[in-house]
Each structure stands twice: as structure tokens, then as C-alpha cells.
Structure 1
Amino acid sequence: MLAALASLVMSATALAQEADSAFLERAALRAANTNCKFLDASEALALDMGYWQARGALLRGNYELSSVNAMQFEAEDYAISKPCEDEALLAATERLKNAFLAFSRTPFMEYSGMYRQWTATRTLTDVWAAHQEDNVTGVRLGLIYPQRSSDPMGFADPDKPREQSVFAVLLPLPKGMTAPSTAHLIVRNPAKEPNPWLGGPFGWGGSGLSIPPLALTNRIFPAKRQIVDAPPYGDGGATPGVLFMFDEKAQGQFEALDPREAVRIDFIPSDRDKSSRPMSVLIEVGDFRAAAAFSKIPRNRPEPQTAKAEAAAVGH
């Protein structure tokens, strides 16, 4: 822990717990790394993962958003005020590097929210980098590799760089179901409702999840539609699915939401399809940003330098 920083903010919050310390240290290290470049790209992604996970844990633990933001500002101010050779920062960085070495071979992780979870993977063979699945409909929202979604059983070449994942939603199509013509992603509009929408005690359909009134939301349209295989991916007899891919701006609007919030996906049938009706699914924002950061950590990485060596290099 960064003892001086932790004690400073703990005295201000009075009821600080272990989650405080994890968040404070990760927020401070992110700020310090911006100036001092202690971490390589993989370690920085691991730090981002831990930061977003700790932030989500505090908010789900009934910390006020204003308190979490104040803790972050305090941590960042502390880190920025210290030189790159500061012993406390170097010690915290070494702890992170050692922890990363132990976890760097982990192929997948799960990130639990209040009601749902995100699953993230770092393997070459997975179609999804990170996803959340609705247990009733099988709908998945998350980051997908478009090339592998077209050929999920295809061979993955370990010598080729991983393709960029895309923010997308997949609707499985059971036999007899007509593919909808489009899908709309409904998210809170921060210009109309700046505060997180946490809904009522029961939420939509008893799920505990809810979205704001439609007048306070943005309706986001996909950039591309494609028919693909839907999970589970097997040899023959695979269930088809319709994949709707969104642009980076849509992903940014989703990431900007509070992890306790939810979004709604509306699947809209074609005007020519008179037998189908619109279908809606809710997805919890949760620790999507932590899952996304984990999925981007490459499996192969150079041998790490120590924090002291990197701090010395920055000084030259």
C-alpha cells in the first residue's frame, strides 16, 4: 500500500476498508505511470484492469460517486507530487510487476457485477474477447473478433497479430426465427441525465436492472449486420445468429456509464416481417472496462525491467 496516501484519505473517509486501499494504490500508480513510464504496455493494461475492478467494487459497495471521485483526485495529486524515484511509488510498482508475472499466463477471467458477469479471454481461439450473456435469450454483448466470428472453428495462427476486437451484440436464431433487420442500443444520455440511473429495487422483469425513461436516453444504431454462427460453437449443426457491430463511439458511450447501470438492446424486425415483434434484452454495464483491458493483454511479452531501472531510464 502507499501508506502515506492511504492514511491521508482514510482519515478523510473515516470508514475506509481494504477496497479503499486497492483503489487508492491503483489510481496513484496510473497517475505515476503517466509521468514516469514505470510499466510496459501489458503491465499498464493489467493496472487498468485492476483500477476499473476496484472502482466498480467501491460503487457497488454503496460508496457515493462523489466520494470515489474525491479519493481518485487525492491519489492522483499524491502521485503527481512525487518524483519518479520516490521509494513508496517504486515499492508499489514492484508489487504490481510481481503480481503481474504470477497472473500473466491466466487465459480467462470473470468479473461479477450486481446481477450479471463479464467473461474475458486472452486465447487465440476464442471468438469473444469479452462478453456478457443473457441467460434467457442467449444474447451476447461485448467485444468480438469479426474474422473468427465468421469461422469460429478455423485455425488461429499464433505468429500473426490478433485482430482488433469490435463492440457488438449477437442474437442466436433458433430454427424458424427470422433475423431482425437491426438492433438499437439504448443508453443514458448524460446531457439529459448527468447522474447514474440506478433504477428501482426490482428493475425490469425482476432482474434488478433498469434504464432511464426513453426521453433521457440515446438510441445507438449499428454500423454493420452479419449472419454468423452463434455459441456454442460445435462441429456441424451450429445455431445461426445475427451479429450487429457498433463503432468506437458507441463503445465509448457504453464505457462512460456507471458500472451499476444497465443498457437495453432492442431487436427490430423487418417491416416485411409481419409475424415477428420487437424483442428487448437488458445488459448490466458492470466491470466491462476491466474485462476489456484484460482481453487486450498479449500472451507473449518481453522480460520485465525493475521499476528502479525504468525510473533511472526516465531520468536520462
Structure 2
Amino acid sequence: MTSRKTFGVVTARWPGIFASIAILGVSGPSHAATAADQLYERTLMTSADARCRLFKPAVGSALDAARAQARGATLRSGVSQNEVTALEARAHAKAGAASCGSKDLTTAADRVRKAFDGYSTMLRMAYPGDRATWQADRSVSATIAVWRLSQPSSFGRDRLVFGLSGRANDMLAVANFADNAQPYAARLVLRDTLRTQGPYLNARNAKGLAANAAPRNASRVFGAETRDDAPLTLLPTGAKTGLSFRFPREAGDALSRLDPREAATVEFVFTSRSGQDVVRRAYVEVGDFAAGRAFLR
């Protein structure tokens, strides 16, 4: 399991609880109680912000990114999805019962604001998972295609970068094929949260992510909407050519709802000499995709 360390903590008195707002980074042990406490407190404050408009958008988004990261840490610590949902419901109820003008809420908001002012101006952030890392970058360019949230992956001799690119945060799979093969289509396969009761975590300690991908009959399939030659700036490191496939915006929402420990499958479809379809599969760890996506806002 990936370890964590708290870089900075601001503790604010809240009616009946302590609202400890922390920025999580890398290294140091992670405990279920700590992650769950942080999720409760950050959910409470983001809920209060939505109702009372406590923070400027940049600070509110930074707090929401930290909330999403705490949610991922809580699930990775072994807390069930149902328990997480119940915890979040309690936090929303607590925030809804507080007066927007109360002294306690004003004090808590002031301390949150001070804690996240600096965080909201950061341009880059790394989100390590159990096996892979999402790299987030808020910088954008009007002329150069850049990754804003990305995770590299290798599958056989082929390589992939998957994530969000450009001002529109397009969801892309950019692949380089060692044998210069040309797939005619790409598909993103994600667990269907409406048809399943939880993730398929068959072998967390085994090598590779395939064991944590949902079976096809329990998944949603998103076909790529476009296929283009990839810009050099989006290619896997060292690659000179590659193809870029863009997936529907809805796929990003679906990926954000998954458990951080599970895997998404990217399928590339080729036509063989016999005319039959041949599929090559790459796997991406869900990890803190939701937190990185919130960071970009």
C-alpha cells in the first residue's frame, strides 16, 4: 500500500468535532482512522462552502481536491464503499445544520482559507497510488498540446500515456506501438457502478493491474470519438510517433466514481491479416484521478 505523510495541518474548532485540514503528500504510514477523519472534515467544509460560499473558487477547488484525495486514502485503507458513503452523508448533514454566520464556522473557514491559499496557487502536484502515479499540471498553452493530468503505462513492448489534456481537459489515450501497428479504434472499459456492488480487487499484491479490472459483463465501454496523429508533446518519453484517441467527456465522470485501487482498461483494436479483430490491452490505475481532476479546477 502506498504510504502518506501530512505536510501541513490547520486545526479549527467546529461544533462537536475538530476540522483538521491537511495536505497529503508522500511517505509515512497511513491509518484508516486518520484518512476517514480527514475525509469527514473536508467533506463537511466543502459542503458548508457550497451552501454558504465561504471561499474563493481557487481555495474551494483546492479544498475539494484534498477532500477527493482523503476519500481515496480512506478506501485504500480498507474502509468499505458503503461506510464511506455513510460518513460523507453525516458530514453533509452536520454542515447543513450549521448557521452560515456562526462564529465557529467563520473561524473554521478563516483557518481553512489560510491553509489552502498557498496550495491553490501551486501549478503541479503528484498523486501516488498503489502502483502508479498521476501527475497534475495546471499550466496551459494556447499553442502547444500539454498533459494536465497524466499517467504512463507499458503493455508488452508498447507504451501509453493516459489522462486529460489541453484547456478543455480532453480525455486522451496516446500510444506508441513498437511494431508500428495501426489500431483502427480504441475503447475505454470501466466498471459499471450501477451494476456492481464494489470493485474487483482480486490480487492487490500481484504484479500488474489486470487483476483489479472489472470483467466485461460488469463494465461500461466508451468508444474513442476521434483518432489522430499525436503531437510530440503528448507522446510517451522518447517516442517519436504515436496515435491519440479522444474519449467522451462522460468517461471522465465515470472514472472519477471508481475505487482508487481498481484499474481501467484501454483496448486498442487492430485488424489482423485474416481480417479478424486483434486487441491489445493496457491498464491504468484509477488512483487519485478524482483528486487530480479537482486540482485542475
- With normalisation by structure 2, the TM-score equals 0.81
Cα deviation code 1:128-172 (max 9, x no counterpart) = 110111155431111012xxxxxxxxxxxxxxxxx3111111102
Give 2:288's aligned residue: 287
Output the CA distance in 1 between the equivalents of 2:140 and 2:208: 37
Output the CA distance in 2 between the equivalents of 1:206 and 1:105: 35
Structure 1 residues 19 and 194: alpha-carbon distance in aligned structure 2, compared to 1, 3 A threshold: closer
- Quote how far apart the aligned CAs of 1:30 are: 1.4
Give 2:140's aligned residue: 124
Matched letter for residue 171 of structure 2: F
- Quote how far apart the aligned CAs of 1:69 are: 1.7
- Quote how far apart the aligned CAs of 1:75 are: 1.1
Give 1:24's aligned residue: 40
Matched letter for residue 161 of structure 2: R
Output the CA distance in 1 between the equivalents of 2:38 and 2:276: 53
Give 1:49's aligned residue: 65
Matched letter for residue 190 of structure 1: T
Give 1:6's aligned residue: 17
- Quote how far apart the aligned CAs of 1:277 are: 4.3
- Quote how far apart the aligned CAs of 1:207 are: 4.2
Cα deviation code 1:78-103 (max 9, x no counterpart) = 11101111222222221221122222
Give 2:170's aligned residue: 166
Give 2:180's aligned residue: 177
Give 1:215's aligned residue: 217
Cα deviation code 1:275-312 (max 9, x no counterpart) = 9942111111111011011123xxxxxxxxxxxxxxxx
Give 1:302's aligned residue: none
Instruction: Say whether residues 1:79 and 2:95 are aligned partners.
Output: yes
Matched letter for residue 267 of structure 2: D
| Matching of residues 1-316 of structure 1 within 5 Å | 1-6=12-17, 17-125=33-141, 127-135=146-154, 137-145=158-166, 163-174=167-178, 176-202=179-205, 206-207=208-209, 209-230=211-232, 239-270=240-271, 277-296=278-297
Output the CA distance in 1 between the equivalents of 2:33 and 2:193: 31
Matched letter for residue 163 of structure 2: G
Which SS does the other structure have where 1:90 is aligned? helix
Where in structure 1 do 4 or more consecutive aligned residues deviate above 4 Å? Answer: 230-234, 271-277
Matched letter for residue 129 of structure 1: R
Higher deviation after alignment, 210-219 or 26-35: 210-219
Task: Answer with 1 or 2: which has the greater Rg.
Answer: 1
Output the CA distance in 1 between the equivalents of 2:240 and 2:55: 43
Query: What is the total number of aligned residue pairs between the two structures?
Result: 269
Select the structure with the greater relative contact order (CA < 8 A; seq sep ≥ 6).
1
**1:232–1:238 CA contact under 8 A, matched in 2:** no
Percent identical across equivalent pairs? 26
